[in-house]
Amino acid sequence: MAHTAPAEPDPARQRPDQHRTEQHRPRPRRWYRQLYVQVLAAIVIGVLVGWQWPDIGSAMQPIGTTFIAAMKMLIGPIVFLTIIGGIANVADLRKVGMTGLKALTYFQVGTIVALLIGLVAINIARLGEGVHADPAKIQASGTAQQYVEQGEGQHWWDVFTQLVPESFFGAFVEGDILQIIFLAVLFGIAIKAVGAVGEPIVAGVNRLTEVVFKVLSFVMKAAPLGAFGAMAYAVGAFGLSTLSSLGSLIALFYATSIVFVLVVLGGFLAAYVRLNIFALLRYLKDEFFLVLGTSTAEPALPGLMRKMTFMGAERATVGLVVPTGYSFNLDGAAIYLSLATLYIAQATDTPLSIGQQLGLLAIMLLTSKGAAGVAGGGFIALTATLSTIGTVPAAGIMLIFGIDKFMSECRALVNFYGNAVATLAIAKWDGNLDLDRARRVLADRNSAERADAMAAEDTAEPVAAPAPGAPRESEAELPGAAAR
């Protein structure tokens, strides 16, 4: 019997969603158009400008601060809309409450582990011994004095009393993520409670969310410029010479943070979620360089939410865990607080027993929550910690003020990756993580670009519902999807 060649598929008979997938399949971008390459180049140029021409570098501050301000302008609406949409689309409100409770439990355990690792590291290295600084002769001035006064005015209970904003728009004006989360949860529950009356509002929230993310994509095009301005200012204003004066403390902080991310977070991610930390680091490379260049994790929040959802975590879980983690899951700040507190105690010859050091954990567990969302947040939280315990002289913070800027990048990066792992862990705990899809996304070296392309595509036009049994459009673009 003669064999006939299979007929060519008729384009007219292809499914609309299949045709759209092939039409909009993202093409690999050239290396110089990758966001992380552009941001990395901007960081290098910024360091060179700040090093060789300090005056010019210091003058670049408005560029960096303007970009960060533009990002913060969008974070409030994104968090508010995402949480409302997530809660309103959950069938059982008790599930939202359980997710929040699990997240807070995870955050507290993670913070305790980070604090303990910092305490162990500084007790082993004992870098402060031999400094013999006299607290009576240490004086704070300028910006440092403002941070000290602000930190001394804070209390451990402020994180609870400041949860409720004085007005609805006040939370957005101040950019307080915790207050915005509080409002969003209330609105989300209320919309869910009114039933059919709230359905048009939910549809409007979903559409408005897409518009805000489109605005975000416009702002992100200026990310290399923002990274250049922030890095040029940091090096120009503070100078590379400050790195040599307390380089050992900076090196210890970075080494401890790397161990925490790769060993602690990486080990937990592999053992519980069954994912590889190095693949996750590669997947979030754009956000890595963005945080590194701007010294704050906030500009990377929208990208983290988008990529966690693309990996297969349920949108409602991502919308609740990621923003909450930016206020409560600050592993980098926790490591910094324990290291800095013990270093100052050693440098000022203030003896602290093991019992006293463990007692510090209870205080730092709360004061670390104030290290996000404000300029000099880590330094302010350190001042609040020392002022609360009263044992270690608060004036000693001037010993490390000069290098605080160079430690802020590492704090922000650890906070960022801590929240990425937390989101995947809570999604797995809740049964809201498509693990097979997550593995395929991490195995695909172009998955980050695919996530960006899918976000842009979903914003451009509505997605037609796939035929029964057909893979979702985002799945169809991943390697191995056809084999399923």
Residue 176 has pLDDT above 90, yes or no: no
**pLDDT at residue number 27:** 56
Beta bridge mates, 433: 313
**pLDDT at residue number 24:** 44
Residue 105 has pLDDT above 70, yes or no: yes
**pLDDT at residue number 137:** 64
Most confidently modeled range among 95-99, 167-171, 335-339, 407-411: 335-339
Annotate 312-348 with DSSP letters as a single string: TB-HHHHHHHHHHHHHH--HHHHHHHHHHHHHHHHHT
In the numeric block, the tokens 């949480």 are attached to 83
Query: Could you tell me the pLDDT band of residue 23, with boundaries at 50, 70 and 90?
Result: very low
CB neighbourhood size of 144 (10 A): 18
Residues 6+ positions from 418 with CB-CB distance below 8 Å: 110, 114, 261, 265, 325, 329, 330, 331, 332
Residue 248 has pLDDT above 70, yes or no: yes
Q: Could you read off the pLDDT of 277-297 as tens digits, one per residue?
A: 999 999 999 888 888 888 788
**Which is more confidently placed, 470 or 211?**
211
**pLDDT at residue number 281:** 94
Q: Which two tokens stand for residue 306?
A: 């988008």
| AA letter at 139 | Q
Q: Report the alpha-carbon distance of residue 262 to residue 266 in Å, rounded.
A: 5
Q: Could you read off the pLDDT of 125-152 as tens digits, one per residue?
A: 888 777 777 766 665 555 555 555 555 5
pLDDT, mean over the chain? 77
Q: Could you read off the pLDDT of 37-77 as tens digits, one per residue?
A: 788 888 889 889 988 888 888 888 888 888 888 887 888 88
Helices 377-389/404-430 angle, 10° precision:
90
Rg (CA), the chain: 24
- Using a pLDDT cut of 90, give the percent of the chain over it: 18
Length of the chain: 484
In the numeric block, the tokens 């305790």 are attached to 112
**pLDDT at residue number 20:** 40
**pLDDT at residue number 482:** 41
Most confidently modeled range among 139-153, 185-199, 254-268: 254-268
Residue 114 has pLDDT above 90, yes or no: yes
**pLDDT at residue number 309:** 92
Residue 322 has pLDDT above 80, yes or no: yes
**Which is more confidently placed, 404 or 206?**
206
The mean pLDDT of 193-200, rounded to a whole number, is 85
**pLDDT at residue number 292:** 85
Query: Could you tell me the pLDDT band of residue 160, with boundaries at 50, 70 and 90?
Result: low
Rounded to the nearest 5 percent, the helix, strand and coil shares of the chain are: 75, 0, 25
φ/ψ (deg, to 5) at 371: -95, 10
Query: Could you tell me the pLDDT band of residue 304, with boundaries at 50, 70 and 90?
Result: very high
The mean pLDDT of 312-329, rounded to a whole number, is 87
Q: Report the alpha-carbon distance of residue 138 to residue 146 in Å, rounded.
A: 15
Average the pLDDT over each of 170-184, 432-446, 460-474 and give the range with the smallest value: 460-474
**pLDDT at residue number 396:** 75
Cα of first residue to Cα of last residue in the chain, in angstroms, is 33
Average the pLDDT over each of 350-364, 383-397, 411-425 and give the range with the smallest value: 383-397
Task: From residue 238, give the alpha-carbon distance in Å to each of 37, 207, 244, 254, 325.
Answer: 26, 44, 12, 19, 30
Burial of 431 (0-12, 13-18, 19+ CB in 10 A): exposed
- Using a pLDDT cut of 70, give the percent of the chain over it: 73
